[in-house]
Every structure is written in C-alpha cells, then in structure tokens.
C-alpha cells in the first residue's frame, strides 16, 4: 500500500505509558435550552503544557516544566473537570483538574494517565491506566480518587472512556490477548465483556449509553492489515468502512435516534508534498461519512459532541509536519486552537 501517515490525538501524544489510541468523549447530552448561548470546552495540550480551551481561549493547567497532557473534559454546573497526566520528572502522574486546581490520583512512583472523566451528581469518575508491576499497564477506574483495577495486571490493558447512567458505570477499552492482539472490551460495573475474538486486533475507544442501548466506537483489523472503523451496539459490530483503507473511530455520541462517530480514514491514493497515504478527519452520522478536511495533510478527529443540529468536533492536523495544530470544527467550520509553533493536539470536547 505504501507509506501511510496516520494522525490522531493520541498518536501525537508522546504518552509515557504506551502508544495507546484513546478516546476522550462519552459525554452525555447537556440538556441545554434551544437557542441559548453555548460554551465549547476542548481539552488538549500545546507543547509541554496541558490546556483547556473555552470558546477557543486557552487556560494553562500546568506551567510547562514537565510534559503534561489533557485528554478529556466534563462540565458539571459551573465546574470544569479535566483529566490527563503530568510528568513529575520521572514518571507520569494521573491528574484531574477541577476549575484549574490539580488533584493527583497516583503517588508518582509508577507511570499512570487518565483518558476520560465523567461526573454524575457529586461523584467524579475517571478511567485510564497505571503500571502497577512489571511495566504492564493495568486498566483502572477511579471513583472520587479511589482506584479499582479492571484487569489483573498480567497483560497490557487500557481503559479509554467512561459513561455513567443511574447506578451503572460503563467503561470501554482493550486488553492484550495471548495471541498478542488487542481484545476490545467493555466493563459494566467492573464486569468485563469482550467485543472481539482476541485473534483480530481490535480496540474500543469510546462508549455512550442511551436508554438501554450501549454504543461503542473503535476499530477491528482485517486480513490485509487494515483497520475497519466500527460501532458496536449492544455488542454487535457494524462496520463504518469497507476495510480497503485503514480507518479508526475515536469518539461516539448519540442524539435521539442518530449515532455520530468521529475518527479518521486514510486517503485512497498518495497525496500531499510527501506523497504519502494521509489520514483525514471524518465524521459518520448513522454510518454516512463526511470528511472534515482534504487529504493534503494528515488530520484526525478525536472527540465529538452534538447539541441539537450542531455537531462539534475536536482534533488536530500535522501543521508543518513537526508542529501539530490543535483544532475544532463546528458543523465542519474549522477553528485553529494553537498557532502551530510547537507540538499540540486536542482531545475531548464538551458543550455547555
């Protein structure tokens, strides 16, 4: 197939734990009033600094002394919660920032990071992974700062997205199998269910629960080595792409009867000045694909939020090839969140 340049918010993230491709969405409908003003929050990083953008205006969460990244944002009332990590000079420390004030969820002796945050009532849930022993990532959920391992630590595992409905807590992620392929998984109240067979590489990045239906976005490999962007509804997979080109689904949002997915798909032919197979940011609505950019640069969509007829997407593009640019799209209209002078990317998005 030739050289393929894949871009995603996590492919850009130089995460210490692994090269995991996490999602940063899974946010509920915010119950906004039609016609009211909207505030768009985006989590990400610019250089070493973890940031959250409010209607395009950045707020620094860290001082840049050490590498830090924000992956997910959730707004509850007037409180803004951001999840990610900050390096302490030795390892990554999982952190939540509430209105800019950080709380460390790990003690800084072993690497850990957060992929997603969700607030339900007075309870704050976050998921991610931590290296508890033998340099193996253990998928983990924290409730109000108290950690519970979702996996036994014998195989690499990652928790990428959390969604809470009533008393039920849903998590999407993946775990390495004995065949060295990743198995896409969900955990409901800590009980795991496999979404894939453990033979074909598969990853789950985002989860959304609507009524009694559980929706998950991710991808599954095929016999040619490409990845098929996939949505699982109640455990049954539906392909968003045909597998002739690699595609990934990083975020999912359900609004009424409509299912929206954000991710990327590689170009059909080599493009751009480097003559490579670039990825392109894409949104699928009920399976129909819309490209957010052309193929001249590698781009990806990492988060999605739908409010009425307005579709908000977060992501990034490769900029000049070295200094990546964090971006957001509102009904396809792009806004650059960073200036392209250093490595940057946008993860989760929330609209209030």
**Distance (Å, rounded) from C-alpha 201 to C-alpha 336?**
33
Question: Per-residue pLDDT tens for 74-105?
Answer: 999 999 999 999 999 999 999 999 999 999 99
Residue 292 has a pLDDT of 98
Query: With the CA atoms of 205, 171, 238 and 166 taken in that order, what torsion angle do they form, in degrees rounded to the nearest 10?
Result: -130
DSSP assignments along 329-341, one per residue: EETTEEEE-S-SS
Query: Per residue in 21-32, pLDDT tens?
Result: 444 454 554 444
pLDDT of 86 reads 98
Q: Residues 91-140: pLDDT tens digits?
A: 999 999 999 999 999 999 999 999 999 999 999 999 999 998 778 999 99
pLDDT above 70 as % of the chain: 90
The pLDDT assigned to 7 comes to 44
Query: What's the rounded Cα separation, in Å, for the pair 290 and 296?
Result: 16
Q: Which residues pair with 250 in a beta bridge?
A: none
pLDDT of 18 > 90? The answer is no
Confidence of residue 35 (pLDDT cuts 50, 70, 90): low
What is the C-alpha separation between 329 and 310, in angstroms, rounded? 10
Per-residue pLDDT of 172-200, as tens digits, reads: 999 999 788 999 999 999 999 999 999 99
Full set of structural domains in the chain with CATH: 4-351 (2.120.10.30)
């Amino acid at each position: 197939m030739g050289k393929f340049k894949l871009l995603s918010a996590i492919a850009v993230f130089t995460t210490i734990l692994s090269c995991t491709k996490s999602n940063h969405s899974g946010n509920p409908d915010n119950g906004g009033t039609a016609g009211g003003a909207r505030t768009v929050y985006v989590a990400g990083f610019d250089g070493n600094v973890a940031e959250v953008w409010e209607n395009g205006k950045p707020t620094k969460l860290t001082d840049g002394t050490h590498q830090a990244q924000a992956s997910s944002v959730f707004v509850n009332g007037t409180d803004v919660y951001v999840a990610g990590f900050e390096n302490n000079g030795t390892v990554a420390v999982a952190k939540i920032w509430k209105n800019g004030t950080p709380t460390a969820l790990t003690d800084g002796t072993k690497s850990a990071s957060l992929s997603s945050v969700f607030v339900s009532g007075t309870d704050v849930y976050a998921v991610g992974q931590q290296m508890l022993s033998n340099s193996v990532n253990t998928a983990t959920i924290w409730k109000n700062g108290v950690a519970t391992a979702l996996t036994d630590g014998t195989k690499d595992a990652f928790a990428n997205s959390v969604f809470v409905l009533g008393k039920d807590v849903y998590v999407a992620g993946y775990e390495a199998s004995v065949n060295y392929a990743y198995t896409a998984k969900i955990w409901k109240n800590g009980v795991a269910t496999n979404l894939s067979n453990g033979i074909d590489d598969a990853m789950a990045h985002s989860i959304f629960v609507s009524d009694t239906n559980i929706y998950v976005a991710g991808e599954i490999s095929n016999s040619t080595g490409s990845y098929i962007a996939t949505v699982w509804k109640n455990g049954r997979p539906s392909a968003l792409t045909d597998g002739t080109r690699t595609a990934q689904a990083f975020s999912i949002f359900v609004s009424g009867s409509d299912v929206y997915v954000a991710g990327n798909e590689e170009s059909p032919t080599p493009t751009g000045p480097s003559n490579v197979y670039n990825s392109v940011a894409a949104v699928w609505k009920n399976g129909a694909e819309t490209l957010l950019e052309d193929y001249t640069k590698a781009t990806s969509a990492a988060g999605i939020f739908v409010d009425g007829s307005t579709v908000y997407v977060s992501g990034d593009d490769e900029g000049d090839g070295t200094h990546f640019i964090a971006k957001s799209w509102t009904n396809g209209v792009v806004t650059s969140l960073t200036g392209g002078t250093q490595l940057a990317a946008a993860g989760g998005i929330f609209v209030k």
